Amino acid sequence: MDHEKRLFGLPEESFVFTVPRKGLITKTETRVISLMKLDLRPGQVLWDIGAGSGSVGIEAARLMPDLKVIAIEKDPADFECLQKNIENFGLGGRIEAIFGKAPEAIGNSPAPDRVFIGGSGGRMSDLLDFCLAKGKDVGIVANFATIENLAEALEWAKKKKFTHDIVQLQVGRGVPIVGLTRIEAQNPVTILSLFPDRTTP
């Protein structure tokens, strides 16, 4: 791993992750835009829900001084990868890894200033309600692969009067083919930013 030379936008290969489900790691390009939308500040608390390998929380902690990250993951194999990545990046003092399902597993963790939702486990409205109850001025950024989960989050935002911003990201990467190069498309991801009563970044 040669991750220390790059300050931002670490390649997926910088992280330990579950190979059979490689597609579920937050891709570099999606991670970069999601972090920009989070609009982090020094000293804030970030909840990383459905953290997987922890790539978003780890990048956030490396970028922002004094940021405290609470990373929650329910899958045992992914949680093991999360712990290894925290150790590999030397962030044990700044990222707390919690094993279990959100929101119950979050317990009495510090109230969030920002929340990143990489996976909801089919409980999007419950998660959003919980985040709002714990952090009244919380900003939330969520990544979606399905239209149904996005629609649920948008309906929630309308009811709660949250300003929302949507970016759909379709990334293609060059791959070699018989001495030439073609563009291989990745699955599209929709990034939803939710902030109370203000314009999102």
Domain extent listing, the chain: 3-196
Q: How does pLDDT run across 134-169, given as a tens digit for each residue?
A: 987 899 999 999 999 999 999 999 999 888 999 999
Of the candidates 66, 20, 4, the one whose C-alpha atom is nearest the C-alpha of residue 40 is 66
Question: CATH number of the domain at 3-196, please?
Answer: 3.40.50.150
Q: Do 192 and 52 contact (CB within 8 A), yes or no?
A: no
CA–CA separation, 130 vs 115, rounded Å? Answer: 11
For the cut 80, the answer to whether the pLDDT of residue 43 exceeds it is yes
Q: pLDDT tier at 16 (50, 70, 90 boundaries)?
A: confident
Kindly report whether the global pTM for this prediction surpasses the value 0.85: yes
Q: Which residues contact 141 (CB under 8 A, 6 or more apart)?
A: 34, 37, 38, 114, 115, 116, 117, 191, 192, 193, 194
Q: How does pLDDT run across 61-94, given as a tens digit for each residue?
A: 999 989 999 999 999 999 999 999 999 999 999 9
Q: Do 63 and 35 contact (CB within 8 A), yes or no?
A: yes
Q: For the chain, what is the mean pLDDT?
A: 90
